[in-house]
């Protein structure tokens, strides 16, 4: 029986931009290896698999290499598909049962609002290899439950980092986020980039889960 897979460009209004995710809505739980094979075939930063449970929807995310515990853009894309296909009415909040607990998506005034966990970072010394991988002199190095957060001096510096992903892959964490305040004339507060080579994603185009750390950091900066 054919299985429908929808590719969604998340975090953008422009086709072929943002962060693409493959969304597969199923009737019941599939085999783990099958999900991994599909994700490897799609070769996107994440593919999401969704199926109904009695009171919510089960949601799991896979990179081309392995399952991951939290993903923002593929959650956004999964909710979009459930609403756009009329599988769930727009007025109904979507509750996802995930490895990171219950996540909620709500349709509000033409936008999707996501309720994600806060994962604040604490200041710490840079682990061996981190600065060699980034070739920068950071203002601050922090670590959250998920990732290292490296604060740089300027947006220009963030944009010009050319990391050694082979070193980052060896660090004892999921990945590395780099960030800085945006240029004063820009309509946003900060910029960031996210490197996830351990999971087969050298750099993620846009990362929702990293904002579980960037948001509380920015609010307190």
Exposure string of 172-195, with b = 16+ CB inside 10 Å and e = fewer, is eebbbbbbbbbeeeeeeebbbbbb
| CA-angle at 206, arms to 185 and 161, nearest 5° | 70
Instruction: Answer yes or no: are the C-beta atoms of 39 and 62 closer than 8 Å.
Output: yes
46 flagged as catalytic: yes
Which of 46, 84, 113, 185 is the catalytic position?
A: 46
Beta strands of 43-184 (E only): which ranges? 46-52, 57-62, 67-68, 94-98, 101-108, 111-115, 122-123, 140-143, 147-151, 175-181
Residue 45: strand, helix, or coil: coil
Pairing mode, if any, of strands 46-52 and 57-62?
antiparallel
Tokens of 159: 């944009």
- For residues 19 and 207, the answer to whether their CB atoms sit within 8 Å is yes
CA atoms within 13 A on the CB side of 71: 33
CA distance to 26, 42, 62, 92, 134, per residue, from 165 (Å)? 35, 22, 20, 41, 9
Query: Which residues carry out catalysis?
Result: 46
């Amino acid at each position: 029986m054919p299985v429908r897979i929808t590719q969604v460009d998340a975090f953008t209004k422009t086709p072929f931009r943002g962060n693409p995710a493959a969304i597969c809505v199923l009737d019941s739980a599939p085999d783990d290896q099958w999900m991994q094979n599909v994700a490897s075939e799609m070769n996107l930063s994440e593919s999401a698999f969704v199926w109904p449970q009695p009171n919510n929807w089960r949601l799991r995310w896979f990179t081309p290499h392995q399952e991951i515990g939290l993903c923002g853009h593929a959650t956004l894309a999964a909710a979009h598909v459930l609403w756009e296909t009329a599988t769930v009415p727009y007025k109904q909040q979507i509750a996802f049962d995930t490895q990171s607990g219950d996540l909620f998506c709500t349709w509000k005034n033409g936008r999707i609002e996501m309720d994600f966990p806060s994962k604040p970072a604490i200041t710490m010394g840079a682990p061996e290899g981190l600065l060699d991988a980034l070739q920068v002199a950071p203002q601050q190095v922090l670590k959250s439950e998920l990732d290292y957060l490296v604060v740089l001096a300027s947006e220009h510096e963030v944009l010009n980092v050319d990391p050694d992903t082979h070193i980052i892959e060896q660090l004892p964490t999921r990945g590395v986020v780099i960030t800085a305040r945006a240029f004063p004339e820009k309509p946003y507060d900060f910029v960031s980039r996210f490197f996830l080579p351990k999971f087969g994603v050298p750099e993620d185009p846009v990362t929702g889960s990293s904002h579980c750390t960037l948001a509380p950091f920015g609010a307190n900066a």
